[in-house]
Amino acid sequence: MERLQKVLAQAGVASRRKCEEIITAGRVQVNGETVKELGVKVDPKTDVILVDGQAINREKHVYVLFNKPKGVISSVTDPGGRQVVTDYMKGIPERVYPVGRLDYETEGLLLLTNDGEFANLLTHPKHHVPRTYHATVKGVPHGSILEKLQSGVKLEDGMTAPAEADYHDVSPDNSSAVISITIYEGRNRQVRRMFEAVHYPVERLKRVRFGQLTLGGLPRGKHRFLTPDEVAELRDLALRSHNIQKNGK
């Protein structure tokens, strides 16, 4: 027997947190009875579980690495009719959705999956999975600016956690620079807001690493499946980083 929200997440309905909202909204039925309470346990092998009247899928889990182009929404649908990342997943029969988000103007490495537990593990605030970006800015920030980014900057939602920041490239005429920055939290538009706070707005932003994963020459707009070893390494990284934070080591 497993908690209902966990079963829904594992079936690819949504992240566990979103599944909890779906349950409390009265959208889930178990064996013909509407369930609104969290913590109810079910047997995924024998119980009939419906979400909005549709039986949940018991499909295999898939894990996708996608090189997201600029100008694509990190969502499965868009009311405005704009292009979304799942438009690039037509050859995948499973219903996948993004792990976290890259904003409309940001390109680069994005993970998609139908494994809600996996998605929750990587995006939960207590798990500090590193994400590395290349931020192109106008001009060349002084070393003191990078030190501010490294130690944390004040945003409207509080101080950022310590980050890693260094020069990745500088134009010959010093008119622009590419800064490599690694963060360990996932606030909305965090990298862009950090650079705005130090008065070097980002002109181009690309995520180049998530945990141990890199794009590895994957063309823009293309995807590949993660190997079982890559999935296991990501799980281990998330759990290990949580234990390090908890134990203060």
DSSP helix/strand/coil, 151: helix
**pLDDT the model gives residue 1:** 86
Instruction: Tell me the pLDDT tens digit for each residue of 117-152.
Output: 899 899 887 778 999 999 999 999 999 999 999 999
CB 147: neighbour CB atoms within 10 A? Answer: 11
Domain span(s) for CATH 3.30.70.580 in the chain: 63-125+213-247
User: Residue for token digits 């945003």?
Assistant: 155
CATH code for the domain defined by 63-125+213-247: 3.30.70.580
Active-site residue flag, 103? yes
**pLDDT the model gives residue 138:** 94
Q: Which residues pair with 3 in a beta bridge?
A: 41
- Options 3.40.50.12280, 3.30.70.1560, 2.60.120.10, 3.40.50.300; CATH for 131-210 is 3.30.70.1560
**pLDDT the model gives residue 243:** 53
> How high does pLDDT run on average in the chain?
91
**pLDDT the model gives residue 53:** 92
- Decide: 179 and 236 in contact? Cβ < 8 Å: no
Domain span(s) for CATH 3.10.290.10 in the chain: 2-55
Phi, psi of 104 (to 5 degrees): -55, -40
Q: Which of 43, 47, 103, 115 is catalytic?
A: 103
* Alpha helix ranges (H) inside the chain: 4-10, 16-24, 116-123, 143-151, 190-197, 228-247
Residue/partner pairs of 24-33 with CB below 8 Å, 24 or more apart: 27/51, 27/52, 28/4, 29/53, 30/4
Instruction: Tell me the pLDDT tens digit for each residue of 71-114.
Output: 999 999 899 999 999 999 998 988 899 999 999 999 999 999 98
Domain span(s) for CATH 3.30.70.1560 in the chain: 131-210
Phi, psi of 158 (to 5 degrees): 110, 175
pTM above 0.85, yes or no: no
- Options 3.40.50.300, 3.40.50.2000, 3.40.50.1370, 3.10.290.10; CATH for 2-55 is 3.10.290.10
DSSP helix/strand/coil, 146: helix
